[in-house]
Amino acid sequence: MKIYAILDLGYLSVESLASTATELCAGGAQLLQLRAKKHTEEEILQMAKAVQPICAGHGVPFIVNDYPRVAAMTNADGIHLGQDDGNLADARRDAGNCRLAGRSTHSIQQAEKARDEGADYIGFGPLYATATKPGRLAIGLGDVAEVQRRLSIPVYCIGGIDLQNLAEVVSAGAENVVIVSSLLQSNDITSYIKSADRILTGTN
């Protein structure tokens, strides 16, 4: 099982971006995405230039959210699009043919559509209500096992996941998870990831 971490500027300052990226990569996150919804493309480019070498140094794939040109200009490993953020093939091309292209999905039907358009992985959620996506209804755990059964590409369950509910997410059939707010707001990111990994692998 993999932990996909997101550098979400809704929870981080620009000044703490590099140090947090280092902690996440060194701590055991297997993928790292940069998401900065309220910043300009130029600002995100500068952030990506700071984060990409950190990811590369740890061998962690670096994903850029929403901005294919930023991905191209920083040699990112991947691009991630929301459900309404355009054509995945166009984004992959504009991102310099990144080896990874992901799509956020909120139902089995959207997940299958993303697979059919060539997504290398999907985000599936939000499983629980989350302040990261205010106003979006939680989809619950009922379809987790089924979406895993139908898709051969990696499915990353996302949305309100933390150490308190992670075991039930795994029990519902999740094979990979995205953890955002609780991870970024923890006092010890490395310890948090290790705790999550023990739950994911059943060694806690």
Indicate if 38 belongs to the active site: no
How far is residue 179's CA from residue 153's CA, in Å, rounded to a whole number? Answer: 19
Which residue among the candidates 92, 103, 115, 133 is catalytic per the annotation?
133
Indicate if 16 belongs to the active site: no
Identify how many contiguous H helices and E strands the chain contains and give both numbers: 9, 8
Task: Report which residue type is found at 201.
Answer: T
Which residue among the candidates 92, 103, 104, 115 is catalytic per the annotation?
104
CB–CB of 73/59 below 8 Å?
no
How far is residue 32's CA from residue 166's CA, in Å, rounded to a whole number? Answer: 19
CB–CB of 67/41 below 8 Å?
yes
Nearest Cα to 111, choosing from 45, 173, 61, 157? 157
Which residue among the candidates 35, 92, 103, 115 is catalytic per the annotation?
35
How far is residue 22's CA from residue 54's CA, in Å, rounded to a whole number? Answer: 6
Q: What residues pair up with 103 in beta bridges, in sequence order?
A: 81, 122
Give the residue numbers marked as catalytic. 35, 104, 133
